[in-house]
Amino acid sequence: MRVGYVQFGPAFGDKERNLARVGEFLGREQADLWVLPELFSTGYQFASREELAELAEPVPKGPTTQRLAALARELGCHIVAGLAERAGKALFNSAVLVGPRGFVTVYRKIHLFYRERELFTAGNVPFTPVEVAGAKVGLLVCYDHFFPEAARSLALAGAEVLAHPANLVMPGLGQMTMRVRALENRVFAVTANRVGEENRTGEPLRFTGLSQIVSPKGEVLVSSGEQGEEARVVEIEPSLARNKRINALNDLFSDRRPEFYQALTRP
């Protein structure tokens, strides 16, 4: 399976331009599964809830999901893309997954970061992997990386590849945690981070790039710089993620002792 990411700097509010930019990258190289950054079509720093509501779209009927599905059909690939979702009055920071046969699923970001808490509703559907081109894929969005329970839930449910659209702003942190998430769960992890800056509220944000694809041993297979737009693709063997053994006597999943992890389920 060929997995890839697009690292780029979305222009705030310019969905046409951002979709076209992504189309350029995806057309240049073949991959079975592409991952795009968080909020790739709109940009990140909304000045108000009203502005966000105007730019957010229903899923799957909204134009951005439909355009991504058309791209997936044309290229014969799957695409995971972060976008702003409107569902009735609620606004979610979501990641859609589309494929050659159309819309597959949507994940609504569960752990909201900083001012996202003033704008979005947190997702409330359990982490659930889906089958993509013979591999089980789990979706995380950005700040979810900080919660080992998120990746663990997906891995315990069978995820072999974590697809992680991101708008990381703390240099190197999410890259480090995702290597650990991959290592401790023995899964592949694809982080598509954005680059560039936004200052639409008087609080400047600098996005940190360093997108990466990591192996179940925590090795960085490919990565990008802190700046610059590019797409990277690598061939992986998802079935390697089914083997949780670290030596002849230890298996990271069957060695777990959940009966002693009681604080995890305490309110």
The site for ligand ACM, by CB under 6 A, has a size of 7
CB 231 within 8 A of CB 5: yes
Q: Which is nearer to ligand ACM, 21 or 111 (CB)?
A: 111
User: CB-hemisphere CA count at 13 Å for 40?
Assistant: 31
Least separation in angstroms between residue 113's CB and ligand ACM is 3
Q: Which is nearer to ligand ACM, 181 or 186 (CB)?
A: 181
DSSP 37-92: -TTTTT-S--SSHHHHHHH-B-TTTSHHHHHHHHHHHHHT-EEEEEEEEEETTEEE
Q: At what angle do helices 15-28 and 63-75 cross, to 10 degrees?
A: 10
Least separation in angstroms between residue 168's CB and ligand ACM is 6
Is 142 annotated as catalytic? yes
How far from chain centre, in Å, is Cα 140? 5
Query: Within 38-57, which residues bind ligand ACM (CB under 6 A)?
Result: 38
In the set 15, 85, 142, 198, the catalytic residue is 142
Is 61 annotated as catalytic? no
Query: Within 114-173, which residues bind ligand ACM (CB under 6 A)?
Result: 142-143, 167-169
Regarding 12 and contact with ligand ACM (CB under 6 A), the answer is: no
The torsion region of residue 263 among left (phi > 0), alpha (psi -120 to 50) and beta comes to alpha
Regarding 95 and contact with ligand ACM (CB under 6 A), the answer is: no
Q: Active-site residues: which are they?
A: 38, 109, 142
Interface residues toward ligand ACM, by CB under 6 A:
38, 113, 142-143, 167-169
